[in-house]
């Protein structure tokens, strides 16, 4: 096994809703196999809808296996909290965290597959964002 295969890109799903984040991770896990670090972050400590930059930062640390972390978010303010979390990692692995602009569900599933086969962070990010073009097979 080469060095690049032994370290897999980690994935963190950030939603305002813990249920949503956990559901997306559950779906993506089915495709990712046992080796990809997939973490769900959602809701506030007291059970409201929301995001918490400190909890996101902790998840980024846990998800990082050495190959970087891709973050998938639900709505805009999750980006603000994730940006803040990334800044708080300054000096650690700040440069190796990227946020996908792509869709949450398809993006997470595609990213999980790409990460599981040892793709780089850039490749996993590109695949997650390209998931916006995936055909759901709905006939018109």
Please give the residue ranges that form the binding site for another protein (CB under 8 A). Answer: 44-46, 48-55, 75-77, 80-81, 83-84
| Closest by Cα among 7, 33, 134, 115 to 70 | 115
Q: How far apart are CA 15 and CA 31, in angstroms?
A: 20
Minimum CB separation from another protein for residue 73, in Å?
12
52 vs 92, beta carbon nearer another protein:
52
Residue 7 designated active-site: no
Minimum CB separation from another protein for residue 42, in Å?
11
Minimum CB separation from another protein for residue 44, in Å?
4
Q: Which residues pair with 97 in a beta bridge?
A: 69
7 vs 18, beta carbon nearer another protein:
18
Catalytic, out of 16, 59, 110, 111: 16
Q: How far apart are the first and last CA of the chain?
A: 46
Minimum CB separation from another protein for residue 25, in Å?
20
97 vs 111, beta carbon nearer another protein:
97
Whether 97 and 67 have beta carbons less than 8 Å apart is answered as no
81 vs 109, beta carbon nearer another protein:
81
Q: Which residues contact 9 (CB under 8 A, 6 or more apart)?
A: 36, 65, 67, 68, 69, 70, 111, 114, 115, 119, 120, 121, 124
On the 0-12 / 13-18 / 19+ scale of CB atoms within 10 A, 111 is buried
Residues labelled as active-site residues: 16
């Amino acid at each position: 096994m080469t060095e690049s295969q032994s370290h897999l890109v980690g994935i963190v799903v950030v939603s305002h809703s813990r249920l949503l984040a956990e559901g997306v991770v559950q779906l993506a896990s089915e495709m990712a196999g046992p080796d990809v670090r997939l973490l769900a972050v959602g809701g506030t400590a007291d059970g409201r809808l929301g995001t918490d930059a400190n909890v996101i930062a902790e998840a980024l640390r846990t998800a990082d296996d050495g190959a970087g972390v891709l973050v998938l978010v639900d709505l805009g303010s999750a980006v603000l909290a994730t940006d803040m979390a990334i800044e708080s990692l300054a000096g650690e692995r700040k440069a190796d965290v990227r946020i996908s602009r792509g869709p949450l569900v398809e993006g997470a599933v595609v990213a999980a597959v790409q990460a599981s086969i040892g793709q780089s962070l850039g490749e996993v990010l590109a695949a997650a964002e390209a998931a916006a073009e995936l055909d759901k097979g709905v006939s018109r």
